[in-house]
Amino acid sequence: MISLYRAGDSLMHRVPVNWKLLALAVSLALISFVPKSLTSSLIIAGSVIVLFALAGLKPFAILNQLWQMKLLILLVLVPQLIFAEWERGAYNTVAVFSGILLAALVSLTTKTTEIVELIKRITRSQNFALLIALSINSIALVIGFSKNISEAGLARGVKPNPIRQIVTLFVVSLRYADDYAEALAARGVVV
């Protein structure tokens, strides 16, 4: 299974998965209720950076996560700056991306199998656990497909074209999903 997990022996890696997911939920709730100010934005961003450091991940890891979301950052930030006060817009953008980075941190420090086992224990449903596993797996998979498409285009000397890349990514993803569904059906998995 493809995963975002990065092996390590840090404090964040040793925390049990149930506590990580609980802490993620509490953190997201707290971010929602904190007063929306520039100071709050800085505290939230600083906390996320500290958590990445506690996970033993280099600053490049957080920059890499942000770089992968560069278009999403623009899609969130620009309307916030246009339609809200700049301070509130900055807070909202920091809050959204801190939540995404915290979820990424859980994925980077927790094996997918541990998350799936916890969900299976809680819900008592193998199919739901399988759905979660496939969802987590698909993030890394689509990122990999996107990188392969970009590299293939560069190797052929083709100028990057976002529409062409999105269509190709869509086709490759659907082809993979169809093959995966056939493999599950062949093994008797009914979803």
Q: Which of 84, 123, 99, 88 is nearest to 45 (CA)?
A: 99
Does 170 lie in the same domain as 89?
Answer: no
Which of 53, 84, 110 represents a domain boundary (last residue)?
110
Q: Quickly state the pLDDT bin for 26 (edges 50, 70, 90).
A: very high
Q: Do 173 and 99 share a structural domain?
A: no
Residue 34: is its pLDDT beyond 90? no
Inside any domain, residue 115: no
Indicate if 83 and 20 belong to the same structural domain.
Answer: yes
pTM surpassing 0.95?
no
Range of the domain at 164: 124-186
Last residue of a domain, one of 77, 110, 143: 110
What's the structural domain count of the chain? 2
In this predicted structure, what is the pLDDT of residue 164?
86
Instruction: List C-alpha distances in Å: 158 to 70, 130, 154, 167.
Output: 22, 38, 6, 15
